[in-house]
Structure 1
Amino acid sequence: MSEENKPEETTVPTPPVGEDGKEEGKAGSAADGSVESKPVGSDSVGAENPPVENKPEGSSESKTEASVPPTGASTPATDAAAERAAARAARLAARAAAEAGEPAPAGAATPASADAGSDEEKAAKAQAAAEARAARAAARGAKPESADPAAPKEPSPNQPLLDRLVAILKAEAGEDAVVESFINERDAHRPYVIIHSSRWPQAALTLRNHEELRCDYLRNLSGVDQETHLEVAYHLLSLTHKHEYCVKVKTDREQPSIPSVADVWPTANWNEREAFDLFGIDFPGHPNLVRIMMPDDWVGHPLRKDYEPLDPEV
C-alpha cells in the first residue's frame, strides 16, 4: 500500500511546547477559532467547567421534563374533575331541597345539560324495569282462566281394607270400639285404627280370629309418650291374607293402664314388660309384669319425657 493511500491515524499529536513552557495553541485557540479535539473519556476535561449535555428533542427525558407542569398550574383533568364535583354537589342540594319541600338554593350551580339528560334516562330505565317486574309478578300470581280446578285427591288403595276393618270391629267389639281411623300414607298407606282401651280385649280377639282379618302375628309392640297422654302401638300382620294393620290404644298419663293381650299374642309378654319398665304403663292380666331392663329398685321410667334421674351421674 502506498503512503498516499494509508488511512489517517486517529491519535492526537502532542502539541509543541513553547519557550515559556506552555503548550502552544491553548492560548491562541480562541483567537484563531480552532477547537482542540480530545478523545471521549479523556481525563483532560476539567471539573471546573463540566460539559453541557445536549439531549435530542425527541428523547424520553426531554418529553418528561416538558410534560411536568409548573407548581400551582391547573390541568384539563383537574378542571373536569372540579366541574363534575360541583355538578354532583348541585344535584344533591337540589334533591335535598325537593325532599324538604323548599326551593333549591339560589347559589347552587345548575348541572350540565348532559348530566341532566343522563339522569333522566337512568330514571326512565329504572321505571321501565320496575313496571316489567311488576307485570311478571302479576302474571305469575294470576291463575289462567282456562285452567281446570284442582282434581280431587285419589283415595288410598288401602281405603277399602280400612273401611272393612272398621266395620268388622264395630260389629264384633262394639260400636264405640273404634275411636279414630285413617290411612298413614307415609307408612306405605297402612290402615290405622285407634281402639278404646275398655274395648281392647275383645277387639284383639276379633283381629286374630275373624276370617277376613286373621291377624295371627304381632310384629311389634311399643310404648309412646305423647306428653299429653301415653299410648301403645301394635303392628299386626296377617300371614294368611298378607295384610298389615296398626292398632293404637291410648291411656291416661297419671295412671296409665291398658289390658294385657299376652294371652292373644304371646309376643306381647316381653314387649308389655318393656313398656311397663320404661314407660310405667300397667297391663292388667299380664302373667308376670316385672321390670325387664332396669333393676327392681330403680326410681322412675327412663323413656318418659318427664323423667328425671335420681342420680344425674348414672
Structure 2
Amino acid sequence: MTAPAISVQHLTKRFGDKTVVDDVSMDVAVGEIMGFLGPNGSGKTTTIRLMCGLLEPDGGDGQVLGFDIRKDRRSIKRKVGYMTQKFSFYEDLTIEENLRFVAGLYGMKGARRVVADTLEDLGLSTRRKQLAGSLSGGWKQRLALAACIMHRPDLLILDEPTAGVDPKARREFWDEIHARAQGGLTVLVSTHYMDEAERCHRIGYISYGKLVAKGTVDEVVHDAALSTLVITGDNVAEAARALKDAPGVDQVAPFGKTLHVVGHDAKALRASVDRIAKQTGVTADHAETSLEDVFIQLMGASQDNMQ
C-alpha cells in the first residue's frame, strides 16, 4: 500500500496560555481531498499550517510527503502550494506578469515556458495581458490557483478558497481540484460551505482546537446519530415558537416555508413535535439529517477555548 501523504499524531500548538490545536491525529491519503470544517477561530488554519511546515508544533509528530514535520519543514514547504482566502497578487500587473514574478521567487528554470504552459493549462492564455486588479472574483481565483500549482506541488492547501466567488466559478474551481487530485495531488481545504464539504473525499470537524469528527460526509452524518423532522403547514411560525426548548429538540430552523427540527433523542423529539403539531395544525414528516444539521449540533456542543 502507498504511504499516506500526511500522517500526524497528537499535534498540539499553543499561543501563550491558549491551546489552539489540541491533540489532533489523522492520516490523509495521496490524491485525497480532505476538508476541514469548524467555526471561526476553531484552529482549522493553524492545523493546516502545522501540516505544511509553516508552523512548528509544540507537541506531537508525524510525516508529510515523506518528511518529518519537525526536522524537514523547509523541504515540506517546497512541495506545498498554499492558496489563501485573500487575493495577494499585484493588481497593477497583468496575469502573465504576476506569474512570471512568482516563477522568479521559486527560481524556476525555463520560467517563460513554465508560465506559458500554466496559462494554457488553467485557461488563462487569452487573458494573460489583463491587469489582475480588473479581474472578477472567479478569474482572480483561477490566477491564484495557477500561481499555487505552477511549481507542481505534491500538496495543495486551500484556505477558504471560494469566498466571494459566484456558484458557476465555484463549480468550475472544484472540477479543476478534482482533476488534479485524480492525478495524485493531495488537497487540504478549509471551508464554511456545506456543498463544498460534500465535494471532499473526507472531512474533519475541528472545534476550538479539537478534532471532534472525521470521515466521509455519510460517516460523519451517521455518527452524529441525529433525527430530523420537517414541519409544513400554515402555522409553521407558531410551531417554531412552541418547539423552542421543548424536550428532545436541539435545533429549530426555518427552510423556506418549512421548519426543520433536529434532536439527538429521537423518541423525545417525536413526542414533542407530535404534541405541537396537534396544537398548531401542522404536519411533521421524517427527513434525512443534513451535514449542516450536524455542523450546527457540533458547534452547539463545543466550548470556546479562547474565552
Which protein is richer in strand relative to its size?
Answer: 2
Shorter-chain TM-score: what band? Answer: under 0.3
Structure with the greater relative contact order (CA < 8 A, sep ≥ 6): 1 or 2? 2
TM-score with structure 1 setting the length: 0.23
Larger radius of gyration between Structure 1 and Structure 2: 1
